[in-house]
Chains A and B, each alone.
Chain A
Amino acid sequence: MAARKTTKKPNVSADELKAYYHDMLLIRRFEEKAGQLYGMGLIGGFCHLYIGQEAVVVGLEATAKEGDSRITTYRDHGHMLACGMDPNGVMAELTGREDGYSKGKGGSMHMFSKDKRFYGGHGIVGANVPLGAGLAFADKYKGNDNVTFTYFGDGAANQGQVYETFNMAALWQLPCIFVIENNQYAMGTSQQRSTSSAEIWERGKAFGIPGEAVDGMDVLAVKAAGETAVAHARSGKGPYILEIKTYRYRGHSMSDPAKYRTREEVQKMRDERDPIEAVRTLLLQGEHATEEDLKAIDKKIKDVVNESAEFAKNSPEPALDELWTDIYATEIPQEA
């Protein structure tokens, strides 16, 4: 079977389109600010930016309902903002402060919000895939119609536990949407050099899991494919795979010199396929928004992001007592 790329586009209102523009731009500006704070030494360790991939998570969150769960890898800031987590709390976690989502104990790669059903933020490549299926298992066990979005990259798609999970998810018909964010590079190794199949989603066919490839630079295409996947999983038909072809503009992490690809390749993507520019053009050409409207959105986002940076700088470091808390739970955690 040839790869099919979703071309169908949902009917969206001008307000929805503006919301996608806002959410994608918020992620981009937030990540640029995170990169800047990293450069200033305010964020330490590893920091993996989502710039270029914004349409993936924004398109899919547009298909989620209250009660659905999401889980991802360490390139997680975009997912947190898209599911409604507070930029202040996320940025304060990046700077390792007490007002961060994990009180400064998790950092960029390990952040959670039980309230928003965001289950991390995982630093071990591939490990979040069975965990996501486990969340879906719990929903099926309880008999509700929630689904879990389990995001991972083209690199993680070569981990054995991903296929152990595909097998059990298909066997047990778990309501899990496996989202392969294929940004074409597993750290510095291109897909051609690491992956035997050109179409990763087709691996699901060996387990009887349906799926499709999606243009990840087009938020409307992502949303359309997401609706198909969600309808499938929510109706009890089991898992679904979306291989979303996307592109990261920045290095794998902040300390990546990115010598495995040319500057022209990156520039071409930015100039011709940028997901935010595409929506901006749609809004302006369709006369759904004026330049002034968009400038107002830009301004609002700039303020939110600057405020998050100030908040994250001014929040205190965690008290030393925090070293010794949260190692053991004393009571059964409450369900979100």
Chain B
Amino acid sequence: MATEILMPALSPTMEEGTLAKWLVKEGDTVKSGDIMAEIETDKATMEFEAVDEGVIGKILIEEGTEGVKVNTAIAILVEEGEEVGDVEASKPAEPAEAPAKEEAKGDSAASGKDHPAPAAPSVDTTPDWPEGTKLKQQTVREALRDAMAEEMRRDENVFLMGEEVAEYQGAYKISQGLLDEFGSKRVIDTPITEHGFAGIGVGASWGGLRPIVEFMTWNFAMQAVDQIINSAAKTLYMSGGQMGSPMVFRGPNGAAARVGAQHSQDYAAWYMQIPGLRVAMPYSASDYKGLMKTAIRDPNPVIFLENEILYGRSFDVPDVEDYTVPFGKARIWREGSDVTIVSFGIGMTYALEAAEKLAEEGISAEVIDLRTLRPMDTASIIKSVQKTNRCVTVEEGWPQGSVGNYISSVLMQEAFDYLDAPVINCTGKDVPMPYAANLEKHALVTTAEVIEAVKTVTYK
């Protein structure tokens, strides 16, 4: 049976080309893989190979012809002994269309909006622990270690790997005692090789384990960012849901003290942008504990952004057997009526300090701790702003493309009519972190700036 040989597309963008040269003539026998012609695109000259075997019955497009559209018949291939006859060349086929498919149901999925309607945001306001729960004072450091230890006791597939996590007991002593309890099979010192061990961690998660990968700081994870995003975050989607990466990447994030530009970056806004990742950035010890346990159990890759300055701070932590905090639920630390201050992580220290001082001046601030940035509890922010009509965001990261920028945009789109003043984003300064003590202090966000921002939005 005669078959048409069509002008091929030879690049992702090719629509037409020049049939530069025929390397076969009518009557020639070709087999799969033989080069039949040279075709010029706007970028290059390419060789065109036969796929089927047969005899070139007729050449339809002469060599040297320009502007030959993709899928135009350029020759006719016949079987041995067969005549071309009156086979008429077809018109260039339209770009191949897939069979029609029912359109997506409803618009909600396709619009990409996952924020609740502004009128009545549904907000979970149940307290993190019931009244009367026994509490104990614990540092963030102890809370993190307890969370990991509890989950390692619960699931033998959970293990911790990273630089100095085992024998050194952790560069910041977060993993103190874990080697003794769980042994070197489950608490693993790695070489200084972030890109490599992040990738091994992701592969281990595909192999059925639940890795916790510690970065000595998130600054060093820039060496590993390809594995975190291209391998861990995207594989569930790229595999059509067959396999995801149930694991935690954790370590201290943001500025510590006097460690300079390469050791002081806040990555909250970076990781918050990636679909497929969950991002937690807690402030208090109870949230470090409850969110870390949730993170280890979550079937998705979790970015856990800690803070070195907070490691030594003490907070109330429920003294109960299995304390967890869900992702995507903000915590209101202080109720107020004049302004909403939204923060997370160490930003909360400025937010709470500012609220305290503002109260002395008669300004009532509501302070919201987001706790997780992806998913983000925007409903709680909207609900609060519907009451206060004003919002200030606080973070240590840089201003351009900040977490606060995103919150501002959500409020503008979903609570515009409730706003009585533009939202102000208090952020770190738009500079690499300096070393000098006075410059460093000035480079970070300050409580004074938060107070000033609140006074600006409240017109005080």
Please tell me if the beta carbons of A41 and B95 are within 8 angstroms of each other in the complex: yes
Please tell me if the beta carbons of A328 and B200 are within 8 angstroms of each other in the complex: no
Please tell me if the beta carbons of B12 and A329 are within 8 angstroms of each other in the complex: no
Is A254 on the interface with B (CB-CB < 8 A)?
yes
CA distance in complex: A126, B442 (Å): 42
Nearest-neighbor residue (CB-CB) of B12 within chain A: A45
Please tell me if the beta carbons of B11 and A105 are within 8 angstroms of each other in the complex: no
The 8 Å CB contact of A141, one of B11, B197, B204, B240, is B204
Please tell me if the beta carbons of A164 and B193 are within 8 angstroms of each other in the complex: yes
- What 0/1 pattern do residues 211 to 246 of B give for CB contact below 8 A with A? 000000000000000110011000111111111101
CA distance in complex: A203, B71 (Å): 47
Please tell me if the beta carbons of A133 and B200 are within 8 angstroms of each other in the complex: yes
Is B109 on the interface with A (CB-CB < 8 A)?
yes
**Residues from 166 to 184 in A contacting B, C-beta threshold 8 Å:** 167-168, 171
Taking CB atoms, residues of chain A closer than 8 Å to B193 are 164, 167-168
Q: Can you list 7 contacts pairing A with B, beta carbon distance less than 8 Å?
A: A45-B12, A124-B230, A131-B203, A138-B206, A164-B191, A168-B197, A333-B242
Please tell me if the beta carbons of A133 and B8 are within 8 angstroms of each other in the complex: no
Is B2 on the interface with A (CB-CB < 8 A)?
no
Q: A141-B159, A331-B299 are in contact. Are A112 and B243 (CB under 8 A)?
A: yes
**Residues from 37 to 68 in A contacting B, C-beta threshold 8 Å:** 38-42, 44-46, 51
Is A286 on the interface with B (CB-CB < 8 A)?
no
Please tell me if the beta carbons of B203 and A134 are within 8 angstroms of each other in the complex: yes
- Give how many B residues have a beta carbon under 8 Å from the other chain's beta carbons: 75
Please tell me if the beta carbons of B199 and A161 are within 8 angstroms of each other in the complex: yes
Is B173 on the interface with A (CB-CB < 8 A)?
no
Q: A161-B195, A270-B33 are in contact. Are A254 and B10 (CB under 8 A)?
A: yes
Please tell me if the beta carbons of A165 and B196 are within 8 angstroms of each other in the complex: yes
CA distance in complex: A173, B109 (Å): 47
- What 0/1 pattern do residues 47 to 77 of B give for CB contact below 8 A with A? 1110100000000000000000011000000
**Residues from 85 to 137 in A contacting B, C-beta threshold 8 Å:** 95-98, 100-106, 110-114, 119-124, 127, 129-137
Is B91 on the interface with A (CB-CB < 8 A)?
no
Q: A105-B240, A321-B105 are in contact. Are A330 and B198 (CB under 8 A)?
A: no
Please tell me if the beta carbons of B206 and A119 are within 8 angstroms of each other in the complex: yes
Taking CB atoms, residues of chain B closer than 8 Å to A248 are none
The 8 Å CB contact of A134, one of B101, B207, B241, is B207
Is A272 on the interface with B (CB-CB < 8 A)?
no
Is A69 on the interface with B (CB-CB < 8 A)?
yes
Nearest-neighbor residue (CB-CB) of B161 within chain A: A137
CA distance in complex: A165, B101 (Å): 45
The 8 Å CB contact of B9, one of A39, A263, A314, A324, is A39
CA distance in complex: A33, B100 (Å): 24
Please tell me if the beta carbons of B98 and A97 are within 8 angstroms of each other in the complex: yes
CA distance in complex: A142, B156 (Å): 10
Is A319 on the interface with B (CB-CB < 8 A)?
yes
User: How many A-B residue pairs lie within 8 Å, measured between CB atoms?
Assistant: 246
CA distance in complex: A131, B231 (Å): 8
Is A323 on the interface with B (CB-CB < 8 A)?
yes
Taking CB atoms, residues of chain A closer than 8 Å to B104 are 319-321, 323
CA distance in complex: A133, B208 (Å): 14
Q: Tell which of B93, B195, B226, B246 has the most Cβ of chain A within 10 Å.
A: B195
Please tell me if the beta carbons of A42 and B96 are within 8 angstroms of each other in the complex: yes
Nearest-neighbor residue (CB-CB) of B278 within chain A: A328
Taking CB atoms, residues of chain A closer than 8 Å to B239 are 101-102, 106, 110-112, 114, 120, 326
Please tell me if the beta carbons of B70 and A41 are within 8 angstroms of each other in the complex: yes
**Extra inter-chain contacts (17) besides given A41-B70, A101-B242, CB under 8 Å:** A41-B95, A44-B12, A96-B98, A102-B240, A103-B240, A120-B235, A124-B230, A131-B231, A133-B200, A134-B200, A138-B206, A168-B193, A255-B46, A256-B46, A327-B237, A331-B299, A333-B246
CA distance in complex: A251, B49 (Å): 12
CA distance in complex: A149, B390 (Å): 58
Q: Tell which of B12, B205, B238 has the most Cβ of chain A within 10 Å.
A: B238
**Residues from 1 to 47 in A contacting B, C-beta threshold 8 Å:** 29, 32-33, 35-36, 38-42, 44-46
Please tell me if the beta carbons of A138 and B203 are within 8 angstroms of each other in the complex: yes
CA distance in complex: A311, B240 (Å): 19
Please tell me if the beta carbons of B105 and A257 are within 8 angstroms of each other in the complex: no
Taking CB atoms, residues of chain B closer than 8 Å to A71 are 203
Taking CB atoms, residues of chain B closer than 8 Å to A285 are none
Output the least CB separation between A26 and chain B (Å): 13
The 8 Å CB contact of B51, one of A35, A111, A249, is A35
Taking CB atoms, residues of chain A closer than 8 Å to B227 are 127, 130-131
Q: A127-B226, A137-B207, A333-B243 are in contact. Are A328 and B236 (CB under 8 A)?
A: yes
